[in-house]
Amino acid sequence: MSLLDDLLNPNDPFARKNLELKGNFEFSEPSKYICTEDPHPQSVNAFDVNSSVSVRFFPPYNRECPNQLKGLISFAYHCSINTPDCSKNLTKWLEIGSLVGESASIFLGFPFIQKLYCVDFDPQANFFKRMDLEIKSKRCEVVIKKSQEAYLDFADGSLDVVYIDGDHSNESATRDLTQWLPKVRSGGFVGIHDYTSDWGDVKPAVDKFLSTFSKSINRYSYKTFIDGTFCFQKS
Ligand SMILES: C[S@@+](CC[C@H](N)C(=O)[O-])C[C@H]1O[C@@H](n2cnc3c(N)ncnc32)[C@H](O)[C@@H]1O
C-alpha cells in the first residue's frame, strides 16, 4: 500500500498505526523539507484553466516533489487526527476558491467528509467535469457567489472546516477570515493557502488576524504545511 493510500484512509486504525510506525508523516516547515525544488514548472501557465494544465496536479509535475498534493492531504489528515470520532465530527467542509476543482478533489478523497461546499463566483468547466459525480450525489454543493455574499447563507458554528483559497489580497484574506471564522464550530479548523508564498498578501493578513482574534483561536494549534497552507483551530 502506498503512502497516498494510507493517507486516504485516515479512519482506518491500521492505516493510522502504519503511518505512525513509518514515522513519515512529518509536518516540516517548507524551508526544512528536503525537496527544495519549486513544484511549479516555469514552462507552463498554471492558470490556463481551459487547457489540461493543472494548478496542483501539474502535469508534467515533478513526481519527486508533489508538495501541493502533500500539503493539502497533510492538512486534511491533521484535522482528522485532532478530531475525536472524525467520521461524525468532521463531516461539513467548505472551501472558498474552487477554480478547477483540484483542492476539492483532494478533500473528497477523505471519506469522513460528507459535505463539501465549494464557494466560487467563477468556477471553471474543469471544476464541473471533475466534480460531476460528487455534485450529482450532493456530496459536493457548488455555491456560485462571492465569498463575501455566500457567508450570509451559513449559520454560525455550522461548519467543521473552512479552507480559504480565494482572492489573495490582504483586504480579501482578512475579510474571508473575519466573515467565515464565526461559521466554524468551536474545535473546528480554518486553513488558508499561500501563507508562505510570495503570491498575494495572505501572510500579513493572517498574522494580523491571529493577533486581533486571539481569544477565538487556539494558539497552540498553529501549523504550516508543505504547500504553504496555514491552519489553526477555533477555541
Ligand atoms: C487560486 S484559485 C483556487 C484554486 C483551487 N483551490 C484549486 O485547488 O483548484 C482562486 C479562486 O478563487 C476565486 N475567487 C476569488 N475571489 C473570490 C471571492 N471573493 N469569492 C469567491 N471566489 C473567489 C476565483 O474565481 C478562483 O477560481
Rounded to the nearest 10 degrees, how much is the dihedral formed by the CA atoms of 85, 88, 89, 93? 130
| Most ligand 1 atoms within 8 A of CB, residue of 52, 143, 167, 197 to mutate | 167
What digits encode the pLDDT tens for the residues 144-159?
A: 999 999 999 999 999 9
Superfamily of domain 3-234: Vaccinia Virus protein VP39 (3.40.50.150)
Nearest CA to ligand 1 atom 16: 167
Which whole-number Å values give the CA distances from 189 to 55, 89, 161, 231, in the listed order? Answer: 24, 12, 5, 7
Q: At 71, is the secondary structure helix, strand, or coil?
A: helix
What digits encode the pLDDT tens for the residues 39-59?
A: 444 333 444 445 445 656 654
Give CA angle at 231 (219, 23), nearest 5°.
Answer: 100
What digits encode the pLDDT tens for the residues 197-208?
A: 777 899 999 999
The Cα 50–Cα 78 span in angstroms is 32
Determine if ligand 1 sits within 6 Å of the CB of residue 192.
Answer: no
Q: What integer pLDDT is reported at residue 55 of this predicted model?
A: 59
The Cα 214–Cα 222 span in angstroms is 12
Say whether pLDDT at 117 is over 80: yes
Which whole-number Å values give the CA distances from 51 to 39, 48, 58, 66, 166, in the listed order? Answer: 19, 6, 12, 21, 21
Domain map (residue ranges) of the chain: 3-234
Q: What integer pLDDT is reported at residue 14 of this predicted model?
A: 41
Mean pLDDT of 115-122: 98
Q: How far is CA 124 from the centre of its chain?
A: 18
Place of cell 524551508: 31
Q: What integer pLDDT is reported at residue 221 of this predicted model?
A: 93
What digits encode the pLDDT tens for the residues 18-41?
A: 444 333 333 333 333 333 344 444
Determine if ligand 1 sits within 6 Å of the CB of residue 96.
Answer: yes
Q: What integer pLDDT is reported at residue 152 of this predicted model?
A: 98
The model's pTM is 0.81
The Cα 130–Cα 41 span in angstroms is 23
Are 219 and 187 in contact by the 8 Å Cβ rule? The answer is no
**What's the gap in Å between 100 CA and the centre of ligand 1?**
9
Determine if ligand 1 sits within 6 Å of the CB of residue 179.
Answer: no
pLDDT confidence tier of residue 192, bands split at 50, 70 and 90: very high
